[in-house]
Amino acid sequence: MTLLAKSSFLKGKMQVGLWTVVTTVSLYASLTNAAPIYKIVDEQTGQVTFTDRPQDYEQQAGKQVSQMAITTGNKTSRSTSLNTTTDSNTSRQSSSASQTATTTGSPTINTRVTTPVNYQLAIIEPSEERAYRRPVQNIDVNVQVKPALQAGDSVSIYFDDEEVAQGLSASIATVDVLPGAHTINVVVQSETGQTLEQIICTVYVIQNTTTLQDNKRKAEQLLAYQKLAWYQKLMLKLRQQEVAKSQ
């Protein structure tokens, strides 16, 4: 075979390999999908399930399937206002009593009695029946308390009975949270640890099937790229540069 024939043969082989890789590898494209979320209700037990694969339940008897208009971003879905309490409940009440001894020379005794505040709590975010996709979404928690916390009182936020934050807000990562129903419990406690008020809501976590599929596809593409010969990688890079210039 002549030198010219060998060169043509090698060039043809490189072009075939290049087009094969271009059709299967896209390392620089971002993949975003937002599949709708469906609510599944068992008509006998009332159990609620959230999923992005309704076809798994449509053929089952006694299952009510409906698409939910649920925001999958971490945004506030509603706002809640609390009724204004009366003046007697908006400030810590205190009373003092003095006692003067009836006998001459007895000292005067002053005592201070503190009455706990009647707090009102509201979970502004998340709302009930809110579904989150793991692992890409965090559960943002925002709490409203009235009246303002008095000295010594505090607010704690619990996720499935585990304290995750102290204060009126928290962001809970779902990467290690199992799919299913979970509870958020907000508790107001006094300085001595006494529970003054609490409120509970339920949220749901579902597996982000689309994200898993995208990650698997990206991993396969990366593996295919790593198996290329050096000249194929070079040709692919040159091809991508040509495409970028033409756009």
User: 122 is written with which tokens?
Assistant: 């509201």
Q: What is the mean pLDDT of residues 63-83?
A: 55
Q: What is the pLDDT of residue 91?
A: 44
Q: What is the mean pLDDT of residues 133-137?
A: 87
For the chain, the residue count is 247
Which is more confidently placed, 126 or 22? 126
- 18 SS3 class: helix
Residue 85 burial (10 A CB sphere; 0-12, 13-18, 19+): middle
- 142-169: per-residue pLDDT in tens? 999 999 999 999 999 999 999 999 999 9
Which is more confidently placed, 191 or 85? 191
Q: What is the pLDDT of residue 12?
A: 53
Residue 38, sorted as left (phi over 0), alpha (psi -120 to 50) or beta, turns out to be: beta
Which is more confidently placed, 54 or 126? 126
Q: Which of 158, 114, 135, 123 is nearest to 215 (CA)?
A: 135
Which is more confidently placed, 199 or 34? 199
Residue 244 DSSP class: H
pLDDT at 244 over 90: no
Which is more confidently placed, 140 or 84? 140
Taking the model in full, what pTM does it have?
0.48
How far apart are the C-alpha atoms of 71 and 36, rounded to whole Å? 10
Burial 127-146 (b: 16+ CB within 10 A, else e): beebbbbbbebebbbbbbbb
Q: Which CATH number does 70-88+119-207 carry?
A: 2.60.40.10
User: 223 is written with which tokens?
Assistant: 């593996």
Q: What is the pLDDT of residue 173?
A: 94
pLDDT at 100 over 70: no
Residue with the two structure tokens 């898993």: 212
Q: What is the pLDDT of residue 69?
A: 57
Q: What is the pLDDT of residue 57?
A: 80
Q: What is the pLDDT of residue 47?
A: 83
Q: What is the mean pLDDT of residues 215-242?
A: 84
